[in-house]
Structure formats: structure tokens, C-alpha cells
């Protein structure tokens, strides 16, 4: 019987070709649990297709998608408009809107339901998954929202979490394309949109899959 895997996926940012290629390599099974860490939309050209792929993935295995700051911006912009809409469009939302044909009216309800249902974090007996960062001495349900969504780890380097669990994050681009593994903290945002790679990692074996925004696997 195949081993069930827990696999985290870093910031996609509209790079659907990279996501498709990585999933082809991973070949998820119904026993697997996949935890995308947020920032599926904005900047890249295919945000709509990224969400389509994540919805399809949920039919193949257990998917626990987390929310990133770009999904927060998108939801707030669509709900409130005004300055929040202008801010989001300037932060990559314009490309997201173009992927939907240029009108918010063309965003499928299934996509809005997906965005509204994203989780702030995920925790297993051995690992924690969150988009951006964390306070080391605070339990996950009490974490400050700004910290988990917006704070880069190079600005606020976190120590080991009080739980003793390994924490997997995205959000802080590792422009070398290499995963940052500090033992207690693993950052897998490897800057796909700006010439790096989309990264997925098996949290138990540390097997890594990477593809660039055009869908080319990284050769190691």
C-alpha cells in the first residue's frame, strides 16, 4: 500500500503551468494530503486557471488550501471597492482580473466560495503550515493576523514554535530558487513569478519538486 504523503506547495501567483507540471510529477493519490500555502492569485497571467487546478485537485486527494495576503486583498477589493480595489489592482490584481476576462462579474461563484473558505493555518501532530510567519510563543489560533499573512521572515525571523513543530511557510521569496530550511522553519516561496520556481515539498522525506513559470522542471 502506498505511503500517504503530506505535501506543501509554495506561492503560485498565477503561474498555472508550473502548478500543472509539479502535480504531474507528484501524481497525488487519494491517500495524500496537499497543503497549498496561499497566494494563488495576482502577478502571473493565469490566476483563474490556478484556482481551477486546485479545485480539480480536490477531487483527487485531500487538499487543505491556506489563505495568503493576496487572497485577502482580492476579497476585500471585491467586497468593498474604492481604495482597496485600487490597491489590489496595483499589487497584481490587474493580471488576476484579466485572467477572468476583465470583469468581476465573470468570476465563478465556485471560485469565490473557494477563496472565502481558505484556512488561516493548518496543524498536524508534527508540523504547522501558515502563509507568512508566526510568533514563536503564541499558539496558532491566537496568532496575530498581520504576522501570519504579511510579515516576512527576513524582517521578523521567528524562533522555534512553542509546540516544537516544524513550521512551513511561503511569502518571503527565496530568489536563489533554493528552499530555506532552518530546521524549525522551512520557507518554500522560491519566487516563481520573478524567474524562480514553484516548489512543492514532502514534509516527511523532504523530497522537492520545482518548475518554472513556463512549466519546465528544474534540473538538479
> Could you tell me the mean pLDDT of each successive run of 10 residues in the chain, 220 residues long?
89 98 97 98 97 97 98 97 96 97 95 98 98 98 98 96 98 97 98 96 98 92
Nearest C-alpha neighbor of 187 from the set 195, 145, 163, 196: 196
pLDDT in the model for residue 3: 79
Q: Are 16 and 50 in contact (CB under 8 A)?
A: yes
Nearest C-alpha neighbor of 15 from the set 121, 120, 92: 92
The whole model's pTM is what? 0.97
Let me know if 52 is exposed, middle or buried by CB neighbors in 10 A (0-12, 13-18, 19+). Answer: middle
pLDDT in the model for residue 206: 97
pLDDT in the model for residue 219: 80
How far is residue 19's CA from residue 204's CA, in Å, rounded to a whole number? 21
pLDDT in the model for residue 1: 60
pLDDT in the model for residue 51: 98
Amino acid at each position: 500500500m502506498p505511503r500517504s504523503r503530506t505535501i506543501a506547495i509554495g506561492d503560485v501567483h498565477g503561474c498555472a503551468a508550473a502548478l500543472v507540471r509539479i502535480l504531474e510529477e507528484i501524481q497525488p493519490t487519494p491517500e495524500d494530503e496537499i497543503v497549498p500555502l496561499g497566494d494563488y492569485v495576482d502577478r502571473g497571467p493565469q490566476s483563474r486557471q490556478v484556482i481551477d487546478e486546485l479545485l480539480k485537485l480536490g477531487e483527487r486527494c485531500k487538499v487543505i488550501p491556506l489563505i495568503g495576503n493576496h487572497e485577502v486583498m482580492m476579497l476585500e477589493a471585491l467586497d468593498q471597492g474604492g481604495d482597496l480595489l485600487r490597491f489590489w489592482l496595483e499589487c497584481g490584481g490587474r493580471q488576476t482580473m484579466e485572467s477572468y476576462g476583465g470583469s468581476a462579474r465573470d468570476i465563478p461563484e465556485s471560485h469565490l466560495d473557494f477563496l472565502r473558505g481558505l484556512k488561516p493555518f493548518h496543524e498536524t501532530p508534527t508540523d504547522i503550515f501558515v502563509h507568512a510567519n508566526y510568533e514563536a510563543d503564541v499558539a496558532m489560533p491566537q496568532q496575530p493576523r498581520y504576522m501570519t499573512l504579511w510579515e516576512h521572515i527576513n524582517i521578523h525571523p521567528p524562533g522555534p514554535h512553542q509546540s516544537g513543530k516544524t513550521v512551513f511557510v511561503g511569502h518571503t521569496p527565496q530568489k536563489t530558487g533554493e528552499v530555506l530550511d532552518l530546521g524549525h522553519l522551512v520557507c518554500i516561496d522560491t519566487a516563481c513569478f520573478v524567474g524562480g520556481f514553484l516548489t512543492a515539498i514532502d514534509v516527511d522525506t523532504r523530497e522537492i519538486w520545482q518548475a518554472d513559470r513556463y512549466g519546465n522542471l528544474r534540473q538538479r
